[in-house]
């Protein structure tokens, strides 16, 4: 998929470049006819007489575009580039001047009816100066266009590299989250085996379903919100089986079962883990409230509130890596498109994450 995107991007750049050249020469070839004081737009005689000049313009332009700029200017050989252009322009200016005379000799109909008898040398010098000026402009236009195209190519390559780097980093973060999530879940099942083996067996079955989601349904950068919500519900139910009677767990999920809203997978799991880690006490009344809401404007709101029983520094369960991974993923996937607030008030820990799914970086 990544290679296909690069090829399509390169093809678009090539066609845009070709179109730019067609428009450029279309303007140069056609524009003079709009300044003629005549009802007819095109005179083949005028076109044939100006053909040497037009071919000279193209020769200077494309010798610079395809040869001199790449071989000299881009390699820092500015003096040689200027020298070669001076020689080229002088040579092409003479060819343009004598080319018109050759065409008039081969096609008598193109000869002007009146010729200036006086000042012939000065007129020839004037034509050479005029043609040289235009050729210098063509050389400058070639450099400008080449530099512009190169800037766009370099900028596109930079964006592609940055995007590839972000995707690789996101994949690395997901690879870190999956083992972290699995470790916490296995710890819960291990604790359950000791006092309720039948429920532990059911927990293993539930875990297998969740692992299927992790292994096969979660390889995309974004997944349907309803699919991720189902995974979250299953995870919460798996965590519920180890809760004691003094813990009150409530959930409120509101989303469209058939909607097309997309969300990053596992983006809320670490927040749920954190609620279970700090919201449960072995001997005191505890509570955990978790809600997920989808709004018509594409925003998804996750809110978690729980009683606050902070772990001591010696407690290494969870290690806090999950929240750091969530923050990094949000910065990569939803830059300037999310709000994440946490606060502690009256022994209650609250976290609210609002994501605008319509303004994703993907």
Q: What is the DSSP string of 122-188?
A: HHHHHHHHHHHHHHHHHHHHHHHHHHHHHHHHHHHHHHHHHHHHHHHHHHHHHHHHHHHHHHHHHHH
Position 80 scores a pLDDT of 92
Is the domain of 20 the same as that of 77?
Answer: yes
Q: What is the pTM of this model?
A: 0.53
Range of the domain at 71: 2-158
Q: How distant is the alpha carbon of residue 98 from its chain centre?
A: 53
Q: Which residue in 233, 179, 188 sits closest to 211, CA to CA? A: 179
CATH of the domain at 302: 3.30.565.10
Structure confidence at residue 319 (pLDDT): 45
The verdict on residue 165 lying in a domain is no
**What pLDDT score was predicted for residue 105?**
64
Domain count of the fold of the chain? 2
Question: Closest Cα to residue 152, out of 20, 23, 49?
Answer: 20
Q: Are residues 130 and 211 in the same domain?
A: no
Same domain, 318 and 269: yes
Confidence (pLDDT) at 43: 57
Same domain (yes/no): 152, 208: no
Quick check: is 180 in a domain? no
Residues 11 and 140 in one domain: yes
Same domain for 132 and 277, yes or no, is no
d(CA 149, CA 81): 19
Last residue of a domain, one of 158, 178, 209: 158
C-alpha distances (whole Å) from 198 to each of 204, 240, 304, 315 are 10, 15, 30, 29
pLDDT of residue 168: 59
Q: List, in sequence order, every residue forming a beta bridge with 290; answer none if it has no partner.
A: 251, 304
Tell me which residues of the chain have a pLDDT lower than 70.
1-13, 29-50, 100-101, 103-124, 159-181, 184, 213-219, 311-322, 360-362
């Amino acid at each position: 998929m990544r290679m296909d995107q690069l090829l399509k991007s390169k093809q678009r750049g090539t066609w845009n470049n070709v179109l730019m050249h067609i428009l450029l020469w279309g303007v140069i070839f056609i524009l003079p006819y709009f300044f003629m004081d005549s009802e007819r737009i095109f005179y083949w005689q005028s076109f044939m007489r100006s053909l040497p000049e037009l071919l000279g313009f193209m020769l200077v332009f494309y010798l610079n575009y395809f040869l001199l700029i790449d071989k000299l200017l881009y390699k820092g050989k500015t003096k040689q580039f200027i020298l070669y252009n001076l020689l080229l322009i002088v040579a092409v200016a003479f060819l343009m001047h004598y080319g018109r005379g050759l065409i008039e000799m081969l096609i008598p109909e193109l000869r002007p009816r009146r010729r200036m008898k006086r000042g012939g040398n000065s007129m020839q010098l004037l034509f050479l100066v005029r043609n040289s000026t235009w050729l210098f402009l063509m050389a400058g236009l070639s450099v400008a266009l080449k530099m512009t195209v190169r800037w766009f190519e370099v900028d596109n390559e930079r964006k592609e590299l940055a995007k590839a780097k972000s995707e690789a980093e996101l994949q690395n973060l997901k690879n870190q989250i999956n083992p972290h999530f699995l470790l916490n879940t296995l710890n819960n099942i291990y604790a359950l085996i000791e006092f309720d083996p039948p429920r532990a067996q059911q927990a293993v079955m539930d875990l297998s379903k969740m692992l299927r989601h992790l292994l096969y349904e979660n390889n995309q950068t974004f997944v349907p919100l309803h699919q991720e919500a189902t995974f979250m519900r299953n995870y919460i139910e798996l965590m519920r089986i180890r809760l004691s009677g003094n813990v009150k767990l409530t959930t409120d999920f509101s989303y469209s079962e058939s909607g097309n809203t997309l969300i990053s997978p596992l983006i809320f799991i670490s927040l749920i883990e954190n609620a279970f880690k700090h919201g449960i006490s072995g001997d005191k009344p505890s509570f955990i409230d978790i809600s997920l809401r989808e709004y018509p404007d594409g925003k998804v709101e996750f809110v978690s509130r729980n009683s606050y029983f902070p772990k001591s520094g010696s407690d290494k369960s969870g290690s806090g890596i999950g929240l750091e991974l969530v923050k990094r993923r949000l910065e990569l996937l939803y830059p300037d498109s999310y709000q994440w607030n946490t606060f502690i008030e009256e022994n209650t820990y609250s976290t609210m994450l609002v994501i605008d799914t319509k303004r994703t970086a993907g």
